[in-house]
């Protein structure tokens, strides 16, 4: 994938192979695609998994390792070869580079040296351009309280992003007890987050895709567990590895968090690039927004990536005005999604997302514009200002 480097490792020595794996797993930008304990089998491993980088440990048998490197240069020319060894012998280093290795790293391996080498390899692969890979954006969607429509926004935002053929999008339902993203999409998934988390050590990118449910819109879904007791067995470490694997496969991960703000929710918020905090213009919701922002600020300044989204804007004349809401929470509202009760009830009961059921509805267009804004694909400043006035950001009412 363009956004994460996939690495295959060969080292006949268990101890040094485990140390190498630990160093690789400590980096967010890479995924350990495969490992091998025999030089003679590594060519087949590379042929089957097609990694971006092959990591070869020399010390078990330098001559065999050098033969392997030379053969990989012919059989897998797109696989960059990195080498590690405890030796600093100049002749060995020269032979290694002549065989076709891109980098020579000495043991014990330092994470910073590995990271720098990977950056150099990435630069060479992309012709020296920075940011060639799009990367993966994690967007957590959570609510100021229950019933504000965070799941409906997460599902429909995911479908809107997936409508762009240049995106690959997965929705992860993190409301482990009462999540219903699968209901919104009228799907009966075969596998759940619990299945993936418990088998994360045995999954590769191909098996992961097979474990997900793909909707007609192109959106992939990883739903909450079926059994309530399964939710207790998912750990933060397992969730972090799920995120790491999903990053290697998708350009966008939408996380529908629960309203419990438990350890898994906070793990998702910590790893997310943006957090959409969904609220309505009423006092209980706005007070919760203030409380949450204060808590996020104390937790490594998570508040800096929070974007406030008002749902069901214009619901009735009893709502607090936008100006008063912004004064209360002490920051601007990022987006407003207009109220359209009839359309939302219809799509929810039919299990069909807005983009399919009511593509021309105002609420659908607003969510499409939100997706574009989050992807950095909004139209020109003049066009964006015009569209927000009737789709996304409504002008505040004069009454307090």
Total structural domains within the chain:
2
Q: Are residues 214 and 354 in the same domain?
A: yes
Please check whether residues 239 and 153 belong to one and the same domain: yes
Q: Which of 63, 94, 125 is the last residue of a domain?
A: 125
Structure pTM?
Answer: 0.70
pLDDT bracket for residue 208 (50, 70, 90):
confident
Region 243-272: what's the mean pLDDT? 91
Question: Is residue 59 over pLDDT 70?
Answer: yes
Are both 205 and 98 inside the same structural domain?
no
The answer to the question of residue 397 being in a domain is: no
CATH of the domain at 117: 3.40.50.2300
Per-residue burial over 294-316, b if 16 or more Cβ lie within 10 Å, else e, is eebeeeeebbebbbbbbbbbeee
Domain that holds residue 46: 5-125
Q: Which of 125, 147, 165 is the last residue of a domain?
A: 125
Mean pLDDT to the nearest integer, 72-101: 92
DSSP assignment of 204-257: -HHHHHHHSEEPTTS-EEEPPPSSGGGGGG--HHHHHHHHHHHHTT-SEEEEE-
3-state helix, strand, coil in the chain (%, to 5): 45, 15, 35
Question: How large a percentage of the chain has pLDDT more than 70?
Answer: 88
In a domain, 77, yes or no: yes
Q: What is the pLDDT of residue 299?
A: 83
Q: CA 306, CA 393: separation in Å to the nearest integer? A: 17
Check residue 129 and give its pLDDT: 44
Do the domain assignments include residue 208? Answer: yes
Exposure pattern of 262-280 as b/e (b: 16+ CB <10 Å)? Answer: eebbbbbbbbbeebbbbbb
**Has residue 112 got a pLDDT over 50?**
yes
Higher pLDDT, 48 or 380: 48
53 belongs to a structural domain: yes
Query: Where residue 378 falls among pLDDT bands split at 50, 70, 90?
Result: low
Q: What is the tens place of the pLDDT at every residue in 149-204? A: 999 999 999 999 999 998 999 999 999 999 999 999 999 999 999 998 888 767 76
Average pLDDT, the chain: 86
Given a cut of 50, is residue 225 above it in pLDDT? yes
pLDDT single digits (tens) 303-358 = 899 999 999 998 766 789 999 999 999 999 999 999 998 999 999 999 999 999 99
Q: Kindly report the CA angle at 293 between 292 and 296, in degrees rounded to 5?
A: 85
Q: Which residue has the tokens 């214009």?
A: 314
119, 31: one domain = yes
- Pair (154, 114) in one structural domain: no
What confidence score (pLDDT) does residue 134 get?
55
């Amino acid at each position: 994938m363009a956004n994460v480097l996939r690495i295959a490792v060969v080292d006949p020595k268990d101890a040094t192979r485990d140390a190498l794996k630990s160093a690789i797993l400590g980096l967010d930008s890479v995924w350990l695609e495969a490992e091998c304990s025999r030089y003679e089998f590594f060519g087949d491993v590379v042929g089957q998994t097609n990694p971006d980088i092959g990591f070869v440990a020399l010390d078990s048998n330098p001559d065999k390792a050098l033969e392997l490197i030379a053969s990989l240069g012919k059989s897998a020319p797109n696989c960059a070869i990195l080498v590690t060894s405890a030796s600093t012998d100049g002749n060995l280093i020269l032979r290694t580079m002549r065989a076709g290795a891109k980098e020579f790293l000495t043991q014990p391996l330092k994470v910073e040296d590995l990271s720098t080498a990977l950056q150099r390899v990435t630069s060479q692969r992309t012709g020296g351009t920075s940011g060639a890979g799009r990367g993966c954006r994690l967007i957590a969607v959570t609510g100021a309280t229950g019933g504000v429509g965070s799941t409906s926004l997460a599902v429909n935002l995911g479908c809107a992003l997936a409508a762009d053929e240049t995106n690959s999008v997965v929705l992860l339902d993190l409301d482990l007890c009462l999540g219903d993203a699968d209901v919104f999409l009228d799907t009966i998934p075969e596998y759940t987050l619990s299945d993936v988390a418990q088998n994360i050590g045995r999954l590769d990118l191909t098996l992961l895709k097979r474990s997900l449910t793909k909707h007609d819109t192109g959106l992939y879904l990883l739903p909450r567990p079926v059994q309530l007791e399964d939710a207790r067995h998912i750990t933060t470490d397992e969730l972090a590895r799920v995120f790491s694997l999903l990053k290697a496969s998708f350009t966008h991960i939408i996380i529908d968090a629960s309203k419990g703000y438990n350890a898994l929710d906070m793990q998702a918020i910590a790893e997310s690039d943006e957090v959409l905090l969904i609220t309505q213009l009423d006092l209980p919701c706005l007070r919760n927004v203030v409380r949450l922002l204060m808590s996020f600020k104390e937790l490594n300044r998570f508040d800096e990536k929070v974007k406030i989204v008002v749902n069901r804007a214009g619901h009735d004349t009893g709502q607090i005005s936008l100006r008063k809401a912004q004064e209360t929470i002490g920051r601007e509202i990022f987006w407003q999604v207009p109220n359209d009760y009839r359309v939302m009830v219809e799509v929810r009961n039919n299990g069909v997302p807005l983009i399919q059921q009511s593509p021309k509805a105002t609420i659908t267009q607003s969510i499409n514009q939100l997706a574009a804004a989050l992807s950095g694909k909004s139209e020109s400043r003049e066009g964006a200002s015009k569209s927000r006035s009737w789709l996304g950001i409504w002008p505040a009412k004069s009454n307090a």
